Structure 1
Amino acid sequence: MQSDHALLRPRIVIPFVLTGIIWGSTWWVITDQIDGMPPSWSVAIRFLVATPAMFVLAAAMRRPLRIGRGGQLLALFIGVAQFCGNFNFVYRAELHLTSGIVAVMFTMLIVSNATLGWWLLGQRITRNFVIGTMIALAGISLLLLHEARLSPLGGNVSIGIMWAVLGILAASLANVVQANETGRSLPMVSLLAWSMFYGTLADIALAWITAGPPTLPDRASFWAGIAWLALSGSIVTFPLHYTLVRQIGAGRAAYNGIVTVIVAMLLTTLFEDYRWNPVTISGAALALIGLVIALRARAAPRPRL
């Protein structure tokens, strides 16, 4: 059992913060990716680039790519849930909602990850985690309120919310299931490589069915965005994040969503003239306080066998 303060040690904090910083930038990039481009093809192209890179990473780390029948079935599930379902839902949500609101909504992974972790893996939900989550959600509500007032929602709001909620559920299922007994027995990068492979196949099939053959854009910003999303936003972050899920539990790992939102808002302040006010400052402060309380909670026990 880890001590109350063990979760704040560098090997947890550094990947936790790094994934939050990188993912904080990706919400911006996605808005350019769907500008005149079918969302499904944008997702498919992203993972057509990311998947070979993940196999190269596995080979460079000398991780075996033979993961057995159980591993392949797990990779298939993760691929369809995370690298097809989740990303297609997110990209579609941003057609109807501002990226800031979708990012804020995705902090609900805190709740869904903790609930599914308890249900599927037997990870205990502690009192401190509940207290921290309640405080953080109060802060998130303030940030969401300000975003809604600042950026009036366009498109079909109800459809956007539906896509975002489906994306949250798909991501949570993948987050939690990869930490089961089969997943823990496999090298992370090997499991992710095969998961991305199956997800990419599903992405291409979905894109072809819903949007027909691809028409590749000639905008430099699109291809620069693909490189950032595929390499930094996928190859760097997913091994770190999924390892965190295994180490500190799905619920607490999802707290990097708060870091993601705050980083995205800070970047908006620097480059898009975002104006802070008492509501946003209070919301960010409450979110961070809740984050610290939850991370200082005692670690969840090992999953049931």
Structure 2
Amino acid sequence: MNDTEAPQPSRLAVLLPFAIVTLIWGSTWIVIRDQLGTVPPSWSVSYRFLIAGIGMLAYAAWRGERIVLDARGWAFAGALAVLQFCLNFNFVYRAEDHITSGLVAVVFALLLVPNAILGRIFLGTQLGPRLLVGSGVAMAGVALLFVHEARVDPNGPAESMIGIGITMMGVLAASIANVLQGTQTARRYPMVPMLGVAMLIGAGVDAMIAWTLHGPPVIEWRAGYLFGLLYLGVFASAIAFTLYFGVLRIIGPAKAAYSSVIVPVIAMLLSTLFEGYRWSPLAAGGAVLAMMGLVIALSASKPAR
């Protein structure tokens, strides 16, 4: 079957959740920035996934889905917890101590590269010509966005390199977790209770790291912080990851990672509305190329095998 034969309903089933996830995650960078300061990052991550995990299991119970995991299921949940809900987010939150949220978002767009490579190696995902062309166009856009954000970043070169390095470690952890979600092992278990369990395990690991590094729990009772936690826990975690991993299982990790390519563009658009962000020719050109690459790649909506 060639890469243009996917029926229209399957494209809609992919594009709608893809759009929702991208819009949600495009808004999280501003919210995460507001979470930094009084509360150590590891505690904020722990609270986020405690909220998300409880919400996921409550939703699973409402749907009548039980948590029935064998040894392999618990091992899978533990691996997902450490990679996706611990290492990934701890690295991202800490990176924003060194570089701007915009630069973190742009660097995270490189998730497309390891997802494509690891998906090809471990899942046998086909990298068709449209995907390769779209990836090339999108990466050119990411390069322009990177140059722009690096120029406006107020931190020095040393801080920037530290922040970029920390972000790349988060990218690698997220990519491995993405590929795990595309395996047959992941498909053996109901997604919602599995994610709920993984999020709660991740919250526990995050809490142990936070207690070791920063001592007992710290909370900020400011309304903005608390509402930010709820938004990140419910919308950006429980809802978004369910939709994202569902899309990933259909189209594979390479195409699913295009959400990370468009997220910086959404973040910059929201910054324009709420923070007075001003577009430069580099930023505008990068955004256009990123969108063109997305259209090219996702026009080949062949499901992953």
What is residue 139 of structure 2 aligned with on the other side? 137
How do 1:238-249 residues align onto structure 2 when only pairs under 5 Å count?
A: 238-249=241-252
Q: Tell me, yes or no, if structure 1 residue 4 matches structure 2 residue 4.
A: yes
Task: Name the amino acid aligned to 2:188.
Answer: S
Residues 112, 261 of structure 2: 8 Å contact kept: no
What is residue 149 of structure 1 aligned with on the other side? 151
Residues 130, 294 of structure 1: 8 Å contact kept: yes
Give the direction of change, closer, same or farther, for the CA distance of 1:238–1:7 in structure 2 (3 Å limit). farther
State the distance in 2 between where 1:291 and 1:170 align.
23
What is residue 252 of structure 1 aligned with on the other side? 255
Match of 1:106 among 105, 108, 116: 108
Residues 17, 259 of structure 1: 8 Å contact kept: no
What is residue 302 of structure 2 aligned with on the other side? 299
Query: How far apart are 1:5 and its partner, in Å?
Result: 6.0
Aligned to 1:37, the other structure's residue is in SS state: coil
**How many pairs does the alignment contain?**
302
* TM-score computed with the length of structure 2 as normaliser: 0.95
State the distance in 2 between where 1:97 and 1:48 align.
27
Give the direction of change, closer, same or farther, for the CA distance of 1:71–1:136 in structure 2 (3 Å limit). same
State the distance in 2 between where 1:105 and 1:145 align.
11
State the distance in 2 between where 1:236 and 1:229 align.
10
Residues 48, 229 of structure 2: 8 Å contact kept: yes
Match of 1:78 among 77, 80, 89: 80
* TM-score computed with the length of structure 1 as normaliser: 0.95
Deviations 1:192-213 (A, max 9, x none): 0111121111111111111111
- Structure 1 spans left out of the alignment, 5+ residues: none
Deviations 1:188-247 (A, max 9, x none): 112101111211111111111111112211211110100000000101100100011100
State the distance in 2 between where 1:204 and 1:16 align.
31
What is residue 267 of structure 1 aligned with on the other side? 270
Query: How far apart are 1:3 and its partner, in Å?
Result: 4.7
Mean CA deviation greater in 289-298 or 173-182: 289-298
Give the direction of change, closer, same or farther, for the CA distance of 1:296–1:275 in structure 2 (3 Å limit). same
Aligned to 1:6, the other structure's residue is in SS state: coil
What do you get for the CA RMSD once the two structures are aligned?
A: 1.6
How do 1:78-97 residues align onto structure 2 when only pairs under 5 Å count?
A: 78-97=80-99
Q: Tell me, yes or no, if structure 1 residue 202 matches structure 2 residue 217.
A: no
What is residue 230 of structure 1 aligned with on the other side? 233
Query: How far apart are 1:298 and its partner, in Å?
Result: 5.6
State the distance in 1 between where 2:2 and 2:13 align.
14
State the distance in 1 between where 2:203 and 2:94 align.
17
What is residue 69 of structure 1 aligned with on the other side? 71
Q: Tell me, yes or no, if structure 1 residue 44 matches structure 2 residue 46.
A: yes
